[in-house]
Amino acid sequence: MLPGGGQEHGETLHETLKRECIEEIGEEIEIGDMIFIREYIGKNHEHAAFDFQVHQMEFMFLCRLKERNEHIKNGILPDVGQIGVEWLSVAELLQYRLYPQTIRKYLIGYFDGKKLPTYLGDIN
């Protein structure tokens, strides 16, 4: 999964993303453009049994580390079940289980210069 998480009351999207990256990957980031918005309606996907009531919006931004670090590890408050942090090559994304799965083809297309919608809809 990409770094990120729930927005706290009173936080901007950028404040949330900066906090979540410190918590999950232990690194400060510089935030660029928003490139995708994903809607997730749990009842429509394979985890409907336990995600039936979930309906969330996810905003995906281009980011870079403030300082180059080849050895990124879990941050100060990793997600439950988070076992590590790993850089993935965009060209090889289809070889990995990245969630949401559909985002892989959009990321590859984006970095190949294809014109893509910002709003991706209810994808998984």
pLDDT digits (tens, 9 = 90+) for 63-116: 999 998 777 888 888 888 888 888 899 999 999 998 899 999 999 999 999 999
Residue 79's pLDDT is: 86
Backbone angles phi, psi at 46, to 5 degrees: -65, -15
pLDDT at residue 78 in the model: 84
Q: Count the residues in the chain.
A: 124
- Rounded to whole angstroms, the Cα distance separating 24 from 5 reads 9
User: Which two tokens mark 24?
Assistant: 């999950």
Look at residue 73 in the predicted model and tell me its pLDDT: 87
Is CATH 1.10.8 the classification given to domain 13-122?
Answer: no
pLDDT at 74: 86
Residues 3-25 have pLDDT tens digits of 988 999 999 999 999 999 999 99
What pLDDT does residue 25 have? 92
